[in-house]
Structure 1
């Protein structure tokens, strides 16, 4: 019975696993992000086996940059990179990751998956009180989403350390340390698979 309750109240948030960030030809490619793609795929497969709500969190921007943070607006406009513009190859999920009918997709335009989105309402409506987070990058979208989840009183927040990544191992470790200090579980994929469902 307890296992069923865990399955029914947990969600896996897969953050920014898009070509722009984790494909070798992406304009904002993160090498460490490319390296964790296999573990993210395994996380998704495992979450589905356990009955978790797999929630895809992606960045998609207006090609003219009207919904982009001020510090990134110089990347948009004629002849510019226009990262993760709606409909672009960069905005698509990296090969090996596929959204299924039972999954949920949320589009964000800022670091946190909760900022100016309806993610919290969707999760509440589904009875979700525990989150597991994978994706990129640890100091930006992972950290902001996790801190917001803690502020919103999710009962349990877990970051899979080898299915998340940052520009350097030191940056990754420092941000994991900060998240652990606010009560977030920071565990490996193997540890998670042994302790869940």
Structure 2
């Protein structure tokens, strides 16, 4: 079984206190866990994929424009990985097992080459961490399920600004997607 870690949207705009669409404390509390996951995957030379929300200022055609305030705008510090993960990424970004992919929709698979990169590397299991549990993590997990990947979700590695949505998504991962929720 080849595994890959998918780190979803763990940026300043989604996690920092002054982020444009922040999870705040719940997002900050998972930092250490995600950091350790990345370190473990890197130490074992397993694959790590950073999938980052990518938006343009005043994009009237993007569907999220009607739903959320502007966030993760290209060229802003809002798109920078939060806190210690930024430093960690700088130290490992040139490793052959580390990938950065910009995404323009909730799912890390939609409109990206993530599926191709995983299949080329014979990955059949994805572990997903990041934010928001009930939005981008959820949609990424649904697409992973539909593409026949085994899915692992760590309760300590995901967070949301919506506590009810977070709880519902954790149940959905396990009961509707057959994910291992640990």
Q: With the length of structure 2 as denominator, give the TM-score of the two structures.
A: 0.88
- d(CA) in 1 for partners of 2:4 and 2:50? 10
Deviation beyond 6 Å, 4+ runs, structure 1? none
List gaps (5 residues or longer) in structure 1. Answer: 1-5, 76-80, 188-197
- d(CA) in 1 for partners of 2:65 and 2:156? 28
Matches within 5 A, 1:28-177: 28-31=21-24, 32-65=26-59, 68-69=62-63, 71-73=64-66, 82-97=70-85, 98-99=88-89, 100-102=93-95, 103-154=98-149, 156-177=150-171
- d(CA) in 1 for partners of 2:61 and 2:107? 14
Q: 2:181 aligns with which of 167, 174, 186?
A: 186
Contact 1:61 1:67 in 2 (8 A): no
Whichever of the two has the greater Rg, that structure is 1
Give the equivalent residue in structure 2 for 1:23. 16
List gaps (5 residues or longer) in structure 2. Answer: none
The CA RMSD over aligned residues, in Å, is 1.7
Give the equivalent residue in structure 2 for 1:190. none
- d(CA) in 2 for partners of 1:174 and 1:167? 13
Secondary structure, counterpart of 2:29 in structure 1: helix
Q: Tell me the CA shift for residue 46 of structure 1.
A: 1.4
Contact 1:65 1:73 in 2 (8 A): no
Q: Number of paired residues?
A: 173
Q: 1:26 to 1:177 in 2, by over 3 A?
A: same
Q: 1:29 to 1:183 in 2, by over 3 A?
A: same
Contact 2:20 2:70 in 1 (8 A): no
Q: Tell me the CA shift for residue 115 of structure 1.
A: 0.8
- d(CA) in 2 for partners of 1:41 and 1:141? 19
Q: With the length of structure 1 as denominator, give the TM-score of the two structures.
A: 0.82
